[in-house]
Amino acid sequence: MPLLEIHDLHAYYGNIQALKGISLNVDQGEIVTLIGANGAGKTTTLRVVSGLLKPSQGKVLLNSQDLSEYKAHEVVDQGVAMVPEGRGVFSKLTVFENLELGAYSRSDKVEIQEDIERIFGIFPRLKERRTQVGGTLSGGEQQMLSTARALMARPSLLLMDEPSMGLAPVLIESVFESLLEINKQGTTILLVEQNAHMALQVASRGYVLQTGEIVLSDTADGLRENEMVQKAYLGIE
Amino acid sequence: MGFDVSSFIEQLINGLTVGSFYALIALGYSMVYGVLTMINFAHGEIFMVGAYVGLYTMNRLVDVGLYDSSKILAVGITFIAGTIGAAITGVTVERLAYRPLRRAARLAPLISAIGMSIFLQEFIRLLPNMGEAITSISIGSFTLFPENIQTAVVGFLQEFGGSRVKTYPGVFGVGGFDIGDIHITYSRLIILIMSVLTMLGLYFLVRYSRLGKAMRAVAEDKDIASLMGIDIDQVISRTFLIGSALAGIAGVMMGMFYLQIRPTMGFVPGIKAFTAAVLGGIGNIPGAMLGGYALGLGEVIGVQFLPAVYKDIVSFSILVLILIFKPTGILGEVLAEKKM
């Protein structure tokens, strides 16, 4: 049963049409990836799902409930969390405060503390740096923090925008490992990536987005075998 | 001109008193700038409304005799009323005049703020006239309001506002104490202590409370903050509430200290507090406190060497010099382009 359904979504930035009627769905428990070049509309799709951008047309359904009229903070209450492009760590707030804010929509104080402890167990680096402000963390640590912060909302759907961007290859590896781990613990993931190679390794299915339209959708294996995908996104001639 | 140490120290204490007013008002400018990157030029008038609501409340407490039987309780209630009055005014101004312009060009809310400043001043000044005009509406020989209601409404509004100067009762008295040659009045001491306590409270609120963290998150990045589940509009509204409440406290305090209040009283302290906020680094809360005291002290030190009427010139020269040589202020940081 689909957790997230997107129907015929259109969106604009001013006069520029960024999405030209895309449809996709993500089933409960899946990792689905959205690949495409710069400016294809990947980030726009996530911005619409998370409520940061209002679509001009189309529907975003979460558990069959329409989210397209919700504001961003209300979408969080519905169980959608996002790891934004560029990580979006609050640079003047401490690591601990960043995590607390991730749980802003929750009121169960005791469990929030338990979740923070659990996250410190998974990411000991964050525990070491708990009183440091976000701006002093390295790129890899910021990615950990941003992911951990999104998990603090206990989302049923996690949106990830280019988690590999700007990271060293060895760190990218560990980001995707943690992604699989998060998924295994029951969180559904919609992953936007330019690094199609890595994305197709962790995802079960994928969509290819080109200038605001979905041009291809298949299983991850199918996409990896596809000639167009190989040429355009995997660098295989 | 001889230099008298004890009178200089008295002047410094005077500077700290005035600095307390500047600091309390400057906080509102800085907090609002932090979350909205706009200067709320109506902030001085919100301070003025606080003084008016306070005085109206105090006069009623005098009427019912509470002021005579328990001065401390009456003063406390006056502060609470002035604070609430200013807070409601601030939140209303934000809701009506700024929120609809959230996505407009930067100049629009600024002009709206100047408009609100003039509106609030004129509103308080013309309240009795408006009351009279409305209650004396008649259709032919039929008057809408009976004469006794008209008199009551106009009487109430005259008590509250109007163009004439109004006077607070001398709450603090003129008493004081001496340390050596230095004379310190109780009023200055009370103002200083109250201001410092209020600001400490604010500091802890912003540092440790859920709202404070949300405010700092909104100040840094609104989109990311909303992805945390923070209702941006609500946080902005509460920022206005707190900033205006502080201005209300300053308004009542200033009324009790200088006794006289008038509809235009918000202008000069408002613009000086703005100077203080810029001096400390606008958007920075400890900076606003520091800037307020620095400006208060700067003024009294300046008039040691210049005639007292040059006080305002000293303040505004400080403003111009900072804007030229250190636009980020004492504690401010480089303003990111995206926040502009």
Distance from CA of A78 to the nearest CA of B (A): 10
**Domain B5-325 has what CATH class?**
mainly alpha
Task: Determine the longest span between alpha carbons in chain A, in angstroms.
Answer: 54
| pLDDT, tens digit, 9 for 90 and up, residues A157-173 | 999 999 998 888 888 98
How, if at all, do strands A2-13 and B138-139 pair?
unpaired
Amino acid making up residue B219 = A
Beta carbons of B244 and B86 less than 8 angstroms apart: yes
- Contact list in B for residue A51 (CB cut-off 8 A) is 226
Residue of B nearest to A76 (CA): B229
Q: What pTM was computed for the model?
A: 0.91
In the predicted structure, residue B337 carries a pLDDT above the cut 70: no
For helices B43-63 and B5-36, the axis angle rounded to 10 degrees is: 110
Q: What is the complex's ipTM, to 2 decimals?
A: 0.93
Q: What percentage of chain A carries pLDDT values higher than 70?
A: 100
Contact call for A93 and B213, based on CB within 8 A: yes
CA-CA distance, B118 to B116, in Å (whole number)? 5
Q: What is the pLDDT of residue B339?
A: 37
Question: Is some CB atom of chain A closer than 8 A to the CB atom of B221?
Answer: yes
Q: What is the pLDDT of residue A1?
A: 76
- For residue B44, give every residue at least 6 positions away whose Cβ sits within 8 Å of its Cβ, in sequence order, or none: B25, B117, B266, B267, B268, B269, B270, B271, B273
Instruction: Pick B217's closest partner by Cβ from A76, A90, A105.
Output: A90
- Contact list in B for residue A52 (CB cut-off 8 A) is 223, 226-227
| pLDDT, tens digit, 9 for 90 and up, residues A135-154 | 999 999 999 999 999 999 99
Average pLDDT on A201-215 reads 95
**Which of A75, A101, A106, A142 has the highest number of chain B CBs within 10 A, making it the mutation to test binding with B?**
A101
Average pLDDT on A75-95 reads 95
| pLDDT, tens digit, 9 for 90 and up, residues B172-187 | 877 888 888 888 888 9
Average pLDDT, chain A: 93
Contact call for B229 and A92, based on CB within 8 A: no
Neighbours of A121 (CB within 10 A): 9
Question: Is some CB atom of chain A closer than 8 A to the CB atom of B216?
Answer: yes
Contact call for A101 and B214, based on CB within 8 A: yes
Residue of A nearest to B220 (CA): A90
Q: What string of DSSP letters covers A85-154?
A: TT----TTSBHHHHHHHHTTT---HHHHHHHHHHHHHH-HHHHHTTTSBGGGS-HHHHHHHHHHHHHTT-
- Contact list in A for residue B207 (CB cut-off 8 A) is none
Question: Is some CB atom of chain A closer than 8 A to the CB atom of B213?
Answer: yes
Q: How confident is the model at residue B333 (pLDDT cuts 50, 70, 90)?
A: low
- Paired tokens of B78: 């006056």
Q: How confident is the model at residue A237 (pLDDT cuts 50, 70, 90)?
A: low
- For residue B339, give every residue at least 6 positions away whose Cβ sits within 8 Å of its Cβ, in sequence order, or none: B37
Contact call for B227 and A100, based on CB within 8 A: no
Question: Is some CB atom of chain A closer than 8 A to the CB atom of B124?
Answer: no
Beta carbons of B235 and B214 less than 8 angstroms apart: yes
In the predicted structure, residue B141 carries a pLDDT above the cut 90: no
| pLDDT, tens digit, 9 for 90 and up, residues B194-234 | 999 999 999 999 999 999 999 999 999 999 999 999 999 99
- Contact list in B for residue A71 (CB cut-off 8 A) is 226, 231
How, if at all, do strands B138-139 and B142-143 pair?
antiparallel
Question: Is some CB atom of chain A closer than 8 A to the CB atom of B228?
Answer: yes
Question: Is some CB atom of chain A closer than 8 A to the CB atom of B217?
Answer: yes
